[in-house]
Amino acid sequence: MPKVLISDKMSPRAAEVLKARGVDVDVKTGMSPTELEAAIGAYDGLALRSSTKVTGAVLSAAGKLKVIGRAGIGVDNIDVPGATERGIVVMNTPFGNSVTTAEHAIALMFALARQIPEADRSTQAGKWEKSRFMGIELTGKTLCILG
């Protein structure tokens, strides 16, 4: 049975999905680099986000490791050339947060159209300038991102 270490906080669903597919899963978050180096030799796979750093030293200690899965876009916290050299596949989830990113962009456009950041700063400063921050209504308008 393959064994996977989840080394960063992520949804409990990740471990559930792996277990449902016959994978032995250990969740150990917050490990120091030394602790990771000491533990990684027992695992076939490593699932992480951005907190865990997979360095050359970690890879050297990872005798059984076959795959590193990054739950997120970048792999800048992983020594990809070092992993490739050792035959370890590195993968990520580049579209995993595309809906979240799109929703965040829309929320920011709405906030700017309605002047929410400026109104918040004014209110936090003890002012009540309601008529100054009316913004624009978005009904019937087209918003776009230029650049």
Quote the CA–CA distance of 88 and 40 in Å, as a whole number.
13
**pLDDT tens-digit series, residues 38-71:** 999 999 999 999 999 999 999 999 999 999 999 9
Four-residue CA torsion sign, 5, 1, 73, 82? positive
CA 123, 129, 134: angle at the middle one, nearest 5?
105
Q: How many CA atoms lie within 13 A of 66 on its CB side?
A: 4
Domains annotated on the chain, with CATH: 3-92 (3.40.50.720), 98-133 (no CATH)
Report whether 95 contacts 117 (CB < 8 A). Answer: no
For residue 102, is pLDDT > 90? no
Report whether pLDDT(86) > 80.
Answer: yes
